[in-house]
Structure 1
Amino acid sequence: MGTKGKVFTLDEVSEHNTPQDCWLVISGKVYDVSKFLEDHPGGDEVLLSATGKDATDDFEDVGHSSSARSMMDDYYVGEIDNSTIPTKTKYTPPKQPHYNQDKTSEFIIKLLQFLVPIAILGLAFGIRLYYTKST
């Protein structure tokens, strides 16, 4: 291919998003995987869904073998201009009230301090009632 070593923008790579013309961005490199779609063990939909974005995380999450990684050289067409890839924003969880373990423990202790004596009194009263009826 005459495009070896060329630098592409993400918009240029995104235009190649059909089964006949499918390009992916993985680890800063651009790959034309059009001829590999039918042979891909995960199916062509997996590759097609990764077009138009940086597919590095998708590729790494699967855990490709070393032979799969070496096959990538056959499909290499160039590099991606990293300034055209949107930066990822870090997830910030919503603010939630702080869970105070000590207050929960205090509540349980106070509840038990109330319920245990009542249970003992009830048991003692039940035993006394049982013995008074049986004699």
Structure 2
Amino acid sequence: MSTKVYTLEEVAKHNSKDDCWIILDGKVYNVTKFLEEHPGGDDVLLSSAGKDATDNFEGVPHSTLARTMTDDYLLGDIDESTLPAKTTYVPPKQANCNQDKTPSFIIKFLQVLVPLAILGLAVAARIYTKSESA
């Protein structure tokens, strides 16, 4: 059985409440009739209308039933060559937070000592205020 292959340009034309197509995992679906039934509301699907909704779909837990229901709306495959290349996030390079070359054991010691000192001051202040009020 041959499957119809759609381009992203073709899918992008179907981006309204009256005509809503989405792409999931390389497959094209006409979800227009499902908009009113979608448990998350039609806005969720409409925000991905005419686009690749794979990341949005996978980002939310879906039951096995929900995943098999997609078969009812399948139109065909997407021509992968028409999809934009996926980019991966590369965080910017940041300066070393230890620019003055303080030995790491001193930093770790201070990370423990400073909160303990604050806690000690808070306890001392509480004891002092109780003894003043007595």
**Pair in the same fold by TM > 0.5:** yes
1:116 corresponding residue in structure 2: none
- Out of 23, 26, 29, the position equivalent to 2:24 is 26
1:130 corresponding residue in structure 2: none
Residues in 1 aligned to 2:48 and 2:35: alpha-carbon distance in whole angstroms: 12
RMSD of aligned Cα (Å): 2.5
Runs of 4+ in 1 over 3 A off after TM superposition: none
Q: Could you tell me whether the CA contact under 8 Å between 2:20 and 2:50 is conserved in 1?
A: no
Matched, 1:62 2:55: no
> How does 1:4-15 map onto structure 2 within 5 Å?
5-15=3-13
**Count of residues paired in the alignment:** 107
1:131 corresponding residue in structure 2: none
SS in 2 for 1:53: coil
Q: Which letter maps to 2:79? A: D
Q: Which letter maps to 2:4? A: K
TM-score computed with the length of structure 1 as normaliser: 0.71
Deviates more, 1:46-55 or 1:11-20: 46-55
1:27-65 CA deviation, whole Å, 9 max, x = no partner?
Answer: 000000000000000011110111232111110111110
TM-superposed deviation, 1:101: 8.4
Q: Which letter maps to 1:32? A: N
> How does 1:1-135 map onto structure 2 within 5 Å?
5-100=3-98, 103-105=101-103
Residues in 2 aligned to 1:74 and 1:5: alpha-carbon distance in whole angstroms: 15
Higher helix share: 1
1:123 corresponding residue in structure 2: none
Residues in 1 aligned to 2:7 and 2:54: alpha-carbon distance in whole angstroms: 16
Residues in 2 aligned to 1:101 and 1:95: alpha-carbon distance in whole angstroms: 14
> Which structure is larger by alpha-carbon Rg, 1 or 2?
1
Residues in 2 aligned to 1:60 and 1:67: alpha-carbon distance in whole angstroms: 15
Residues in 2 aligned to 1:101 and 1:43: alpha-carbon distance in whole angstroms: 51
SS in 1 for 2:36: helix
TM-score computed with the length of structure 2 as normaliser: 0.71
Note the residue ranges of structure 2 that are not aligned, 5 or more in a row: 111-134
Q: Which letter maps to 2:81? A: S
Q: Could you tell me whether the CA contact under 8 Å between 1:7 and 1:79 is conserved in 2?
A: yes
